[in-house]
Amino acid sequence: MANKSLASRKQTVIAIFVATGIIFLGRLFYLQIIDDSYELSANNNVLRYVTQYPARGLIYDRNGKLLVYNEAVYDLMVLPRQVKDIDTLEFCRLLDITPEGFVQRMKKAKDYSRFKPSLFEKQISKETYGYLEEKMYRFPGFFVQPRTLRKYPDPMGAHLLGYVGEVNQSIIDKDTYYKSGDYIGISGIEKSYEENLRGKKGIKIRMVDVHNREVGSFQNGLYDTLAVMGNDLYLTIDAELQQYGEQLMQGKMGSVVAIEPSSGEILAFLSSPTYDPNLLVGRVRGKNFSELSKDPVKPLLNRAMMGQYPPGSTFKMVNDLVGLQEGVLDTHTHYTCQGPGSSPIRCTHNHQSPLDVYVAIQQSCNPFHWQVYRSILNNPRRKNVKENYTAWRNHVMSMGFGHKLGTDMQFELSGNVPPAEKFDAIYGKGRWNAMTVRSLSIGQGEILVTPLQLANSAAVMANRGHYIVPHVVKSIGTDKSVKDKFKKVTSTIEPAYFEIAVEGMRQVATMGTAKWYQIEDITMCGKTGTAENPHGEDHSLFMAFAPADNPVIAIAVIVENSGFGSTWALPIASLMIEKYIKREVSRKEVEEKMINGKLY
Amino acid sequence: MVRERNNVFNNIDWTLVIIYLILVLMGWLNIYAAVYNEDHKSIFDLSQSYGKQMLWISTSLFIGLVILLTDARFFSTFAYLIYGITILSLIAVLLVGSEVSGSKSWFEIGGFRLQPAEFAKFATNLAIARFFSGQHINVRDFKTRVIPLILLGIPGLLILLQNDTGSALVYSSFILVLYRMGMSGNLLLAGALVVLVALSTLMVGHIYVSGLLVILAGLLFAFMKRNRRNIINLMALLALGIGFTFSVEYVVENFLEEHQKTRINVLLGKELDLKGAGYNVNQSKIAIGSGGFLGKGYLNGTQTKYNFVPEQSTDFIFCTVGEEWGFVGSLVIIVLFLYFLIRIINLAERQRSDFSRIYGYGVAAILFFHFMINIGMTIGLVPVIGIPLPFFSYGGSSLWAFTILLFIFIKQDANRNALL
């Protein structure tokens, strides 16, 4: 009986077994099926998402000459959680960093995340990487990511091309495409064509074992995506002309912009002093940038779009064109000039008097243009001076002044053609007249233009009344032209009147202020300017196009603080035109004098 | 009839043998997966654990066969001798053994290592079975109560001295055998209560647990028959309980080693030490948890294959099952084990010989304890106690010992109809 009851204890024992089994199965059900956080942890353990950085698109000039390419470097990344028992001293020696630097970098990485990779040392050269690669297995937690850096075979066009840098937090916050450590175009073409140049990032999922050794790709690369290289850009820039311009402008402050009038394509776009764009690449960028930004001659400033100058006499045809359009001036109109004794604006040249519009442009007669300007502003057709001034301003602006042209580069300034309200504010409503704002007639006073606008106005003259928005990119890739993006803008002046202005400009180059720098076989139409500069020596300006019929180049040159337009700006522009049209410059002594001119 | 009785292969319980073979084979497959290496694919590569395990498996089968061919009475006759030799080897290993990962429990002979603690399990089981099958057994007798405890205590203590806590704890599983032999069920309950009180003390501190005990005693006092004897008993129990809670903390603080303390604390959720003591369990849970319903597929387990789980071919072999075979695979293994255990119990009950029955219970109890602790620890239900999963885990000593343990029982069972 006792045995029998003890035998029934079998049930209890079995019950204990079964209960244990059920508890286990319940727990397993929870772990494996209900709670999916373990799967995530497993992936975190074993999967490494390695961004595949695409190479940026290359940049060529209009003739297919390579201007910008990429060079391979390596970013050393660290996963703090996995760093243990490494020979820190040897590691520091390999990387050429101090032990303190090591500790600092590790702390920064740990502060970011122990489980996510962060940048330990960026842009290690190919050589250093070579040493490191062999010993990598001894430094668990570290790995490299290949990156590319910009390289400029023939340094030129620094302001035009711009530079590339690492994204900052505000960019990351704004655009989800970018992650910490990504590169982005910061200025110039690199910025404005960022979306074309950057390409498409890829991702490679790799599996690692507990020692962080790579053990293969995840699912044979099923979920990997390849990086797609950025689109190449073909510029409108003529590299040879650009380089020649930079040579001519060395030692001078100022800018040269050349445009193909028929298309708006910018042939040369330079700001001087310039810098070697290779200086703003990679690890040296920070140091060089701060040095460049401290330089008193401001090499980082893009004077071609951000320098604003009074146009001076180069503006006179514009004023005449408004006069012609408004009907207060024709080819028979003559004004007298008393030379230096003229009032209220004296004349700085010796010439015949009375004179017509052709001679007035050719000789750059101040009193003539003041008279034209006064007639416009006192035109009885409109109610008052203010309305006449506004009409004058609208005509001027239709020729590309006083507003951004909408080019494909960033940070363009708009220059200044003050609205009438501005004078109302300064002098009081109805308390100003032509006399008050007379400086505008000769491109002085409040009016400011950028070199780009000035070159564009030369293109307007060349085209007899219209311009195509100037731009620097010809096509994205070899086939995708961007021509249609840049529209034709027609001025409010009738083309017929431009023939008068152009004739004046032709005479400038043949017998006027520019006659000393004629180009053999090429008829140039131009206008010198000497802009009074309240801050110092006058600026030397010249704008021109050539040839007179079927123009292929319109150009503006500004040389700061260098006196008369005919001394520096004119010869440089003339050489540029010769170079562009003939590909060879015959006036060697002029060329040499320009290249060697040191003005600051 | 006589011939049949004599032919051992007609009488053995093939179910047990087949389940044994399945478990061993599955174990091997999972060891292969756990240490899977593209460079050493050959299953007989002796430089790899699966190659060695193959060797252990074949020798185990041979050992099993030898046992089946041995006279069944050999084991009961020489039970004490075998026990004695094992005890001597346990002492010897303390003197001349070599230390492996903190436990001085290995004989090193040539290139092979032998762990006597593994063999002590079946030897002790033999001795216990022999003792209880004796003629003068009376559960009320003091001697009957004390001698088994001594039989269990000697190997337990010696193994504890080897610093192999896990293997020492195995001897507590004999509580099931004692229960079957007539030990009061209250003791089993008391045992469970002790564990419960101990765990809750470690979790919330002895003050709260003592307070709870006082409240319980108060409730009991309110509802029970208040005679003098009951009151004295209640007071004694309460004093014992409170004393116990204090001593639990004292023992843990002063006698357990640092790593054991952290293991317990991690399990109780008091410490989250994912890089240290909690690392194993956390990685183990990740491996099993990431297996999902159907698992990642054989040889596709990333956590186990890439060594995120330590000791994965030995103590944490169940992770490979969980990760690669998923919930379904785990379910199969657990059900198979349960069926195996219940089968042993049922077979034990049908024995006419006390020795065989008691031995059978011992087999079930030992296997169950390993099953419970090993799988429990991989899924974070019990502290990390390093004992193998029977037939599954990599290791020659343990596979041999479990084989011997099991096949002695199979032999006894095959012989159940022999004349006593």
pLDDT tens over chain A, length 600 residues? 345 578 888 999 999 999 999 999 999 999 998 888 887 778 777 787 778 888 899 999 999 999 999 988 888 888 887 787 788 888 888 888 888 989 999 888 888 877 777 888 888 888 888 888 788 888 888 888 888 889 999 999 999 999 998 888 888 888 888 887 788 999 999 999 999 999 888 888 888 777 666 777 777 777 788 888 899 999 999 999 999 999 999 999 999 999 999 999 999 999 989 999 999 988 888 899 999 999 999 999 999 999 999 999 999 999 999 999 999 999 999 998 888 878 888 888 888 888 999 999 999 999 999 999 999 999 999 989 999 999 999 999 999 999 999 999 888 999 999 999 999 999 999 899 888 999 999 999 899 999 999 999 999 999 999 999 999 999 998 777 777 889 999 999 999 999 999 999 999 988 888 788 888 889 999 999 988 887 788 999 999 999 999 999 999 999 998 888 788 999 999 999 999 999 999 999 999 999 998 888
**Mutation target among B189, B338, B354 for the A interface, most CBs of A within 10 A:** B338
State whether residue A71 is helix, strand or coil. Answer: strand
CA-CA-CA-CA dihedral for A264, A266, A267, A270, to nearest 10: 150
Determine the Cα–Cα distance for residues B331 and A72; give it in Å rounded to an integer: 53
Asked if the Cβ–Cβ distance from A215 to B361 is below 8 Å, we say no
The answer to whether the CB of A47 falls within 8 A of the CB of A218 is: yes
Contacts of A214 in chain B (CB under 8 A): none
Q: Do B164 and B34 reside in the same domain of the chain?
A: yes
Taking only the tens place, the pLDDT of each residue in B134-155 is: 876 776 778 888 899 999 999 9
Q: Do B156 and B304 reside in the same domain of the chain?
A: yes
**Mutation target among B180, B186, B281, B286 for the A interface, most CBs of A within 10 A:** B286
Q: Name the DSSP class of A162.
A: -
Range of the domain at B377: 2-183+274-414
Domain A239-280+302-596 in CATH 3.30.70.120: no
Tokens representing residue B286 in the block: 């990740």
Q: Is there a cis peptide before residue A354, judged by omega within 30 degrees of 0?
A: yes
Asked if the Cβ–Cβ distance from B289 to A27 is below 8 Å, we say no
Q: Do B26 and B92 reside in the same domain of the chain?
A: yes
Closest chain B residue to the Cα of A17, Cα to Cα: B338
- To the nearest 10 degrees (0 to 180), the angle between helices A385-398 and A366-377 is 120
Alpha carbon A331 to chain centroid, angstroms? 42
- Sequence-separated (6 or more) residues with CB below 8 Å from residue A567: A540
Determine the Cα–Cα distance for residues B307 and B279; give it in Å rounded to an integer: 12
pLDDT attached to residue A86: 84
Residue B263 covered by a domain? no
Domain final position from B255, B286, B313: B255
pLDDT attached to residue A111: 86
Nearest to A21 among B322, B334, B361 (CB): B334
Contacts of B181 in chain A (CB under 8 A): 6
| HSE-CB of A202 using CA atoms within 13 angstroms | 19
The answer to whether the CB of A76 falls within 8 A of the CB of A132 is: yes
The answer, for B349 touching chain A at a CB cutoff of 8 Å, is yes
Contacts of B192 in chain A (CB under 8 A): none
Closest chain B residue to the Cα of A209, Cα to Cα: B306
State whether residue B271 is helix, strand or coil. Answer: coil
SS3 of A484-530:
HHCCEEECCCCHHHHHHHHHHHHHHHHCCCCHHHCECCECCEEEEEE
Tokens representing residue A246 in the block: 């930079």
**How far away is chain A from the Cα of B108, in angstroms, using its nearest Cα?**
30
Asked if the Cβ–Cβ distance from B334 to A12 is below 8 Å, we say no
The answer, for B141 touching chain A at a CB cutoff of 8 Å, is no
**How far away is chain B from the Cα of A143, in angstroms, using its nearest Cα?**
18
pTM: 0.66
**How far away is chain B from the Cα of A136, in angstroms, using its nearest Cα?**
19
Tokens representing residue B384 in the block: 């990390």
Asked if the Cβ–Cβ distance from A28 to B180 is below 8 Å, we say no
Burial of A398 (0-12, 13-18, 19+ CB in 10 A): buried
pLDDT attached to residue B1: 41
Distances (CA, A) of A391 to A312, A313, A376, B212: 21, 21, 9, 97
Q: Do B109 and B158 reside in the same domain of the chain?
A: yes
Closest chain A residue to the Cα of B288, Cα to Cα: A32
- Sequence-separated (6 or more) residues with CB below 8 Å from residue B230: B224
- To the nearest 10 degrees (0 to 180), the angle between helices B277-289 and B317-349 is 80
Tally of domains in chain B: 2
- Sequence-separated (6 or more) residues with CB below 8 Å from residue A228: A54, A199, A200, A202
Q: Do B40 and B170 reside in the same domain of the chain?
A: yes
pLDDT attached to residue B222: 84
Residue B288 covered by a domain? yes
User: β-strands A233-235, A473-476: how paired?
Assistant: antiparallel
Closest chain B residue to the Cα of A22, Cα to Cα: B334
Computed from CA positions of residues A164, A170, A176, A182, in that sequence, does the dihedral angle turn out positive or negative? positive
Q: Do B179 and B55 reside in the same domain of the chain?
A: yes
Residue with tokens 């920064």: A108
Contacts of A19 in chain B (CB under 8 A): none
The answer to whether the CB of A196 falls within 8 A of the CB of A482 is: no
Determine the Cα–Cα distance for residues A589 and A431; give it in Å rounded to an integer: 54
Residues of chain B with pLDDT under 50: 1-3
Tokens representing residue A120 in the block: 């330990």
Closest chain B residue to the Cα of A31, Cα to Cα: B289
Residue B260 covered by a domain? no
Asked if the Cβ–Cβ distance from A16 to B176 is below 8 Å, we say yes
Contacts of B361 in chain A (CB under 8 A): 13
Q: Which fold, A48-235?
A: Penicillin-binding protein 2a (Domain 2) (3.90.1310)
In this prediction the ipTM stands at 0.89
Asked if the Cβ–Cβ distance from B290 to A17 is below 8 Å, we say no
Nearest to A31 among B308, B345, B379 (CB): B379
Q: Do B179 and B242 reside in the same domain of the chain?
A: no
The answer to whether the CB of A304 falls within 8 A of the CB of A270 is: yes
Residue with tokens 């004695």: B84
Determine the Cα–Cα distance for residues A435 and A378; give it in Å rounded to an integer: 10
Q: Do B13 and B156 reside in the same domain of the chain?
A: yes
Residue B227 covered by a domain? yes
Q: Pick from A513, A507, A503: which is nearest to A364 by CA?
A: A513
Tokens representing residue A542 in the block: 């010249």
**How far away is chain B from the Cα of A74, in angstroms, using its nearest Cα?**
27
Residue B420 covered by a domain? no
Asked if the Cβ–Cβ distance from B338 to A18 is below 8 Å, we say yes
Contacts of B305 in chain A (CB under 8 A): 209, 215
Asked if the Cβ–Cβ distance from B306 to A209 is below 8 Å, we say yes
The answer to whether the CB of B167 falls within 8 A of the CB of B117 is: yes
- Sequence-separated (6 or more) residues with CB below 8 Å from residue B86: B116, B119, B120, B123, B124, B155
Residue B115 covered by a domain? yes
Q: Pick from A139, A82, A137: which is nearest to A113 by CA?
A: A82
Determine the Cα–Cα distance for residues A371 and A347; give it in Å rounded to an integer: 12
The answer, for B341 touching chain A at a CB cutoff of 8 Å, is yes
Q: Do B47 and B175 reside in the same domain of the chain?
A: yes
CB pairs under 8 A between A and B: 122
Tokens representing residue B237 in the block: 């129990």
Asked if the Cβ–Cβ distance from B289 to A18 is below 8 Å, we say no
Asked if the Cβ–Cβ distance from A32 to B327 is below 8 Å, we say yes
The answer, for B344 touching chain A at a CB cutoff of 8 Å, is no
Q: Do B61 and B90 reside in the same domain of the chain?
A: yes
Q: Is there a cis peptide before residue A80, judged by omega within 30 degrees of 0?
A: no
**How far away is chain B from the Cα of A95, in angstroms, using its nearest Cα?**
29
- Sequence-separated (6 or more) residues with CB below 8 Å from residue A177: A201
| HSE-CB of A522 using CA atoms within 13 angstroms | 25
**What's at A151, amino acid-wise?**
K
Distances (CA, A) of A186 to A159, A276, A355, A410, B311: 11, 16, 52, 9, 53
b or e along B159-184 (b: 16 or more beta carbons within 10 Å of the residue's beta carbon)? beebebbbbbbbbebbbbbbbbbbbe
The answer to whether the CB of A521 falls within 8 A of the CB of A571 is: no
The answer, for B325 touching chain A at a CB cutoff of 8 Å, is no
Contacts of B346 in chain A (CB under 8 A): 10
**Mutation target among A6, A32, A205, A218 for the B interface, most CBs of B within 10 A:** A32
SS3 of A77-93:
EECHHHCCCCCHHHHHH
The answer to whether the CB of A407 falls within 8 A of the CB of A470 is: yes
Longest pairwise C-alpha distance within chain B? 77
Q: Specify the length of chain B in residues.
A: 420
The answer to whether the CB of B330 falls within 8 A of the CB of A32 is: yes
b or e along B121-130 (b: 16 or more beta carbons within 10 Å of the residue's beta carbon)? bbbbbbbbbb
**How far away is chain A from the Cα of B205, in angstroms, using its nearest Cα?**
26
User: β-strands A233-235, A59-60: how paired?
Assistant: parallel
The answer to whether the CB of A419 falls within 8 A of the CB of A401 is: no
Asked if the Cβ–Cβ distance from B179 to A27 is below 8 Å, we say no
**How far away is chain A from the Cα of B157, in angstroms, using its nearest Cα?**
26
Q: Which residue(s) pair with B249 in the sheet?
A: none
Q: Do B342 and B250 reside in the same domain of the chain?
A: no
Across the beta sheet with A47-52, the strand order is A47-52, A202-208, A214-217
The answer to whether the CB of A462 falls within 8 A of the CB of A258 is: no
